[in-house]
């Protein structure tokens, strides 16, 4: 019997999720050969423990409707080919999305705003196609706003996709605010750092933007991508495949006292020689 455990490194004890309800939901991405999503697993195929104690999975979902929060950089550095390629990729992404999904669009430049809330694919494209980039980059404020929106979403399947090509230079929030809040939510974060066509590392400043975007994704079981403009369509297809292939496991923790918990998920499969799991591994019960 083969046991496949999480491929991501465990976060440090201070990196935790804070939850306000006893029901804990863990969204798990499972990939098999060649990194493709592993489909067809059942509730009984998963082994889930909290602090080493087996937990009973009360609710199990696979490929259900998802609520997706898109946080899009509308600063002036996105003008030109990058913006056109992003729109082209988004058009294809939305045209092939699962029906039943809903989308919230957050745009950011000097300031952040919720441009559309809980709309379908057609409505989102009509709004997105009319936008244009201008101004500075309030990336931290935008991430915090996106996390606040996620907290209001009842769906067990939910994710935030962040698109940006540069460092923050206009936020009122600071990096520590983002790090604290990103680990206080139970949702997968995918990040797309859009590279300049003539530069492998477009980010500048004391803390590289590439490192920040990678950290946001890794901490939540998501994926970080850094495509050149012509690669955006392919990246969005990969994100869609990963998101639609997630398994959602919900359980009630055995220990009700406040404190930090570590969750571990594995699967027992005899007909797969290798597989990888990604998910968020820590939370704090209040």
Q: Which of residues 67 and 6 earns the better pLDDT score?
A: 67
Question: In 3D, which of 264, 256, 269, 66 has the Cα closest to residue 155?
Answer: 66
- pTM equals 0.82
pLDDT tens for residues 224-237?
Answer: 999 877 788 889 88
Confidence of residue 12 (pLDDT cuts 50, 70, 90): very low
Q: Are strands 53-54 and 46-50 parallel, antiparallel or unpaired?
A: antiparallel
Residue 208 has a pLDDT of 58
Question: How many angstroms separate the first and last alpha carbons of the chain?
Answer: 37
Q: How far apart are CA 47 and CA 174, in angstroms?
A: 38
Secondary structure (3-state) at 187: coil
What does 11-57 look like in DSSP terms, one character per residue? PPTT---EESSS-EEEEEEEE-GGGPBPP---GGGEEEEETTEE---
Q: How far apart are CA 178 and CA 153, in angstroms?
A: 19
Q: How many CB atoms lie within 10 A of CB 200?
A: 9
Under 8 Å between Cβ of 89 and 233: yes
Q: Are strands 67-73 and 102-108 parallel, antiparallel or unpaired?
A: parallel
Instruction: Specify the DSSP class assigned to residue 96.
Output: T
Q: Please say if the pLDDT value at position 142 is more than 70.
A: yes
pLDDT tens for residues 19-41?
Answer: 445 788 898 999 887 777 888 89
Q: How many CB atoms lie within 10 A of CB 23?
A: 13
Under 8 Å between Cβ of 222 and 186: no
The secondary structure of the chain in percent helix, strand, coil, rounded to multiples of 5, reads: 30, 30, 40
The residues, ordered by sequence, that sit 6+ positions from 170 with a Cβ below 8 Å of its Cβ are 109, 110, 111, 135, 136, 137, 138, 141
Q: How far is CA 281 from the centre of its chain?
A: 14
CATH number given to 67-244: 3.40.50.410
Under 8 Å between Cβ of 147 and 181: yes
pLDDT tens for residues 163-212?
Answer: 998 788 889 998 888 877 777 676 789 999 987 555 544 444 434 578 88
Under 8 Å between Cβ of 106 and 145: yes
Under 8 Å between Cβ of 246 and 227: no
Residue 272 has a pLDDT of 52
> For 147, phi and psi rounded to 5 degrees?
-65, -40
Q: What's the chain's average pLDDT?
A: 82
Q: What percentage of the chain reaches a pLDDT higher than 90?
A: 37
Confidence of residue 273 (pLDDT cuts 50, 70, 90): low
Residue 21 has a pLDDT of 58
Q: Which of residues 17 and 212 earns the better pLDDT score?
A: 212
Interior CA angle at 18 toward 59 and 98, to 5°?
45
Angle between helices 139-151 and 175-182 (to 10 degrees): 20
């Amino acid at each position: 019997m083969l046991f496949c455990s999480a491929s991501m490194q465990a976060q440090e004890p201070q990196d935790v999720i804070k939850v306000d309800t006893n029901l804990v939901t863990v969204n798990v991405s499972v990939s098999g050969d060649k990194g493709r999503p592993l489909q067809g697993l059942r509730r009984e195929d998963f082994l889930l423990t909290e602090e080493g104690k087996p937990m009973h999975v009360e609710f199990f979902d696979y490929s259900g409707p998802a609520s997706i929060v898109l946080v899009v950089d509308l600063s002036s550095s996105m003008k030109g080919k990058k913006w056109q390629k992003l729109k082209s990729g988004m058009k294809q992404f939305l045209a092939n999305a699962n029906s039943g999904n809903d989308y919230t669009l957050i745009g950011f430049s000097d300031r952040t705003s919720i441009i559309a809330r809980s709309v379908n694919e057609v409505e989102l494209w009509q709004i997105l196609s009319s936008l244009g980039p201008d101004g500075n980059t309030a990336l931290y404020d935008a991430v915090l706003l996106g996390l606040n929106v996620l907290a209001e979403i009842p769906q067990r399947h939910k994710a935030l996709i962040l698109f940006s090509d540069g460092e923050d230079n206009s936020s009122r929030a600071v990096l520590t605010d983002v790090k604290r809040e990103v680990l206080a939510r139970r949702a997968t974060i995918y990040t797309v750092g859009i590279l300049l066509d003539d530069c492998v590392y477009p980010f500048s400043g004391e803390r590289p933007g590439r490192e920040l975007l990678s950290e946001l994704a890794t901490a939540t079981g998501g994926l970080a991508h850094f495509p050149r403009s012509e690669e955006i369509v392919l990246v969005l297809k990969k994100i869609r495949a990963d998101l639609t292939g997630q398994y959602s496991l919900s359980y009630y923790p055995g220990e009700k006292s406040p404190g930090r918990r570590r969750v571990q998920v594995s699967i027992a499969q005899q007909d797969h020689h290798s597989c990888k799991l990604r998910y968020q591994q820590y939370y704090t019960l209040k």
